[in-house]
Chains A and B, each alone.
Chain A
């Protein structure tokens, strides 16, 4: 059964460093998403991506964040100059329609 994969499973970084979180969506899906969950809080929408461009982004998704689909299979989330409050679980998802399929998440820890 096809699944969404994410790497790494856990990333530790120093404040101010850049990180890239990677996702491989399901191959025939057209919509891609990033969500995050700060420990103990709700899962929050960050950004959606369709047809090689951002279709919607939340107020959380400021200039510090960017997304890219560099090679037709990977979907990346870059966080420039990480802050302590960026520590969270980041989930990638993809869909061909209403149902979204989620990856297992990357736990980002900013020290």
Chain B
């Protein structure tokens, strides 16, 4: 069935380190892909998105490229900050009329000073 597989956490990095969180999906058709972030005590916030193959989503220094050939949407950031500590969720919707999201399990990122 349709699913999202994310890199298992937790991930612990030092400030200014390079971040990659892997995400692959299994879905029919041409889904739109998303990364959501959840800071402690808050709801899910959209971080970035890509709606078609080869699109690159970017926001706050984070990037992810929609790779249809590998069904992947890996999240990267060149230099993480302590304030990036959060849980990151990869997700997709398959379009249609209601845009429901299918999520991965989430990856906890902790950035130490």
Contact = CB atoms under 8 A, between A and B. Distances in A.
Interface of A: 4, 6, 31, 33, 35, 41-45, 48, 50, 55-56, 91, 93, 95, 97-105
Residue from A6, A31, A41, A102 having most chain B Cβ neighbours under 10 A: A102
Nearest to B36: A102
Contacts of B44: 43, 91, 93, 102
Given A104-B41, A105-B43, A98 B105 contact: no
Nearest to A95: B99
Nearest to A45: B100
Given A91-B44, A98-B32, A45 B97 contact: no
B98 A103 contact: no
Interface stretch (B18-26, B45-53, B65-73): B45-53
A45 B99 contact: no
B101 interface: yes
Contacts of A91: 43-44
A99 B31 CA distance: 13
B46 A45 contact: no
B93 interface: yes
20 contacts: A31-B98, A33-B101, A35-B101, A41-B105, A43-B91, A43-B106, A45-B100, A48-B99, A50-B97, A55-B98, A56-B100, A91-B43, A97-B99, A98-B32, A98-B49, A98-B93, A101-B46, A102-B45, A103-B43, A104-B41
A95 B101 CA distance: 12
B89 interface: yes
Given A98-B51, A98-B93, A104-B43, A44 B98 contact: no
A98 B43 contact: no
Contact of B106 (A6, A42, A95, A99): A42
B103 A44 contact: yes
Contacts of B81: none
Given A42-B105, A43-B89, A99-B49, A55 B97 contact: yes
